[in-house]
Structures are given as C-alpha cells and as structure tokens.
Homo-oligomer: A and B are copies of this chain.
C-alpha cells in the first residue's frame, strides 16, 4: 500500500532538511507520499540502498529518489542524497504517516477516574479505563480498550494500542509504544513451597519502561517482587516476548519474537536476542552481546560475545557442531568399524609375537 493521498505533502527541499540530506535536481517538486521502488507513482518518493536494485531505477515512476551519492551516478531523476537511505526512508515514512485514530480528547466511552491526572492534548479512545491516581502525560494516545491501573504513570507522546494493559504503579517513559495487547506489570512468577502446595509471593515491585522503548503485541513484562523490572531506553521488544520479574535490560537492546528472559537476569546495552532465544535466571549478560535465534543462555556472557545453541556456546563453534550433527550416525558406525579392525590387527600382531 502506498501512503498516497493521505493528506500530507512537502517539497523535496523541505524533506531534505527533515532527513539531513541535500537535493540534486529540482528541490521545489512536491512530494505527497513514500513507496517502494517498484510501486512508487508520480508525486511519491522512493529509496535505493541495495546496489543490485539499481537496474530498476529507469522504469520507476517515482518523483524522486533517496540514495547515497555513490549510487546516484547517472540517475536522471530528482535525488535526495543522504549517507543512510534506509534511515532517511524511515524518517520520511514517519513524516507522511497519518495516525489511525484522530486526536479527539477523551472519548465519552472511556472511564477515567476523577483522581487520574490527564494532561492536555491526550487522546483516550472508547473502552479505555484509567484508574485512580494514574497519570497520562501530553501527546499520548490510548487506543480503544487500553487499561491503565491505579497509580500507573504514562509519559509524553506514548502510543498505547488497543488492549494494552499497564498494571498498578508501573512507569512508561516518553515516546513508549505498546503494540496491541502488550502487558506491562503482570505479577512475577514467584511461589514459596508450602508442603506439597505453593504459596503465592505477592509481587509488589514495579516495571519501569524507559523512553523510546517499544513492546510488541501480546508481550508480557512482569513486575518485580520487591524491586523493579527495568527496560532501558531505546530497547525494542518484538511480539510474544516474556520478560520475568526483576530483569534489568539496558539501553538499545533488541529482543526478537518469542524470546524469554528469566527472573533477575541483567542484560547490558545494545545486546540482541534472536527469535525464540532465552536466558536463564540470575545471569549477567554483557553489552554488545548477540544471541542467535533459539539460543539458550545458561551462564554469564561477557561483553561483545556472539553465542548460539542451547546451552549456548560461541556462535562459530555452534555452526561447526550443528553441521556435524547430521554425520553423527555415520560417525558411530565408523568408530564401531575402527574398534573391530583394531582388534583384528591386535590379534594379528599378537600372533606375530608368538
């Protein structure tokens, strides 16, 4: 789908200013949307970052192209020259994007407690419930059926999608995005054995979600037992991810879909967990760590390490080991034959000795 005709428009020159680039060609042409190289029509801007797709340029009907100076040679179109076309493209998409729900204040179908503090310029859609003592800062939008428990705190310019839930006393920083049905502040999974049964340990800590964090659809972030669970600034969490109680995640980390981080584990900054990977509890995972998809971390991890497999081992070793797996049955057969042959040789030699 192109974003054409959604309403917003700007000159190529204005867009260059927006993304920090410069124009080659007519900077006065008007752009009203962004689209991919093969689908962009007149009035739309597209981008080129993959040299292999350069051959598609002549056929493109795009009005202008975001491109690096290097790839721009001999292109006969208005150009927006930038160092990082992918990032510029993201910024243009953001500029042209029109929100699904218009900002319309507090819907009469929302139930906002009189003791909640709602800033000006907040949109609260129908079906939302905001509890006593909760605070919602300016510019934030709560899509339909969002629930903010009493005492929770939602910062400025947050976007909470339908069905997202923020439990009591939890904090969201600024520009936090919760995808639909994301849960912040569910009880940590803590029980004290009591004979054969388990006695629930009330989880009275909070979740602190720092600025610019995104949490995916149906992901669950448990509150701390006594202290807080913390998601550091700029960290991005995909769908169906589990973050257990008292976990501390640093800044600008990436947790891909279906990751699970067990209780009290600490992760540094700028670390990445691939899809379905996991970390056991009470571990210290450093910064700039990469865990491959499906990796299972069972020990502390030093800064800058790349691991794979479960239990996780250095990625390079895992690649070799996993390639070897398929040969395991043959290997067993070989070793069995070797044992037999060696026994024959020994018998033969002993014979010689005699």
Contact = CB atoms under 8 A, between A and B. Distances in A.
A127 B151 contact: no
Given A147-B143, A186-B180, A345-B345, A339 B332 contact: no
A224 B39 CA distance: 14
A186 B331 contact: no
A280 B257 contact: no
Contact of A240 (B196, B220, B334, B335): B220
B326 A201 contact: no
A151 to B, nearest CB: 7
Interface string A1-45: 111000000000000000000000000000000111001000000
Interface stretch (A50-58, A68-76, A116-124, A316-324): A316-324
A260 interface: yes
A212 B252 CA distance: 39
Contact of A145 (B127, B239, B293, B331): B127
Which of A150, A183, A320, A322 is the most central at the interface, judged by chain B CB atoms within 10 Å of its CB? A183
Given A220-B239, A276-B278, A147 B129 contact: no
B321 A192 contact: no
B87 A183 contact: no
A168 B218 contact: no
B258 A257 contact: no
Contacts of A236: 189, 191, 198
Contact of A147 (B145, B239, B310, B313): B145
A193 B341 CA distance: 53
A318 B317 CA distance: 19
A218 B296 contact: no
Interface string A258-292: 10101000000110000110101000000000000
16 contacts: A1-B204, A84-B194, A87-B193, A90-B191, A93-B204, A97-B202, A144-B147, A162-B165, A186-B217, A196-B270, A220-B239, A238-B242, A239-B242, A325-B325, A335-B338, A341-B346
Interface of A: 1-3, 34-36, 39, 84, 86-87, 89-91, 93-94, 97, 100-101, 107, 109, 111, 125-127, 129, 131, 143-145, 147, 149-151, 161-163, 165, 167-169, 177, 179-181, 183, 186-187, 189, 191-194, 196-202, 204-206, 212, 214, 216-220, 222, 224, 226-228, 234, 236, 238-240, 242, 244, 251-252, 254, 256-258, 260, 262, 269-270, 275-276, 278, 280, 293-294, 296, 309-311, 313, 317-318, 320-329, 331-332, 334-335, 338-339, 341-342, 345-346, 348-349, 352
In the A-B complex, the 10 residue pairs with the closest CB atoms: A129-B144, A100-B168, A186-B217, A111-B126, A147-B162, A324-B328, A217-B220, A93-B202, A220-B239, A87-B192
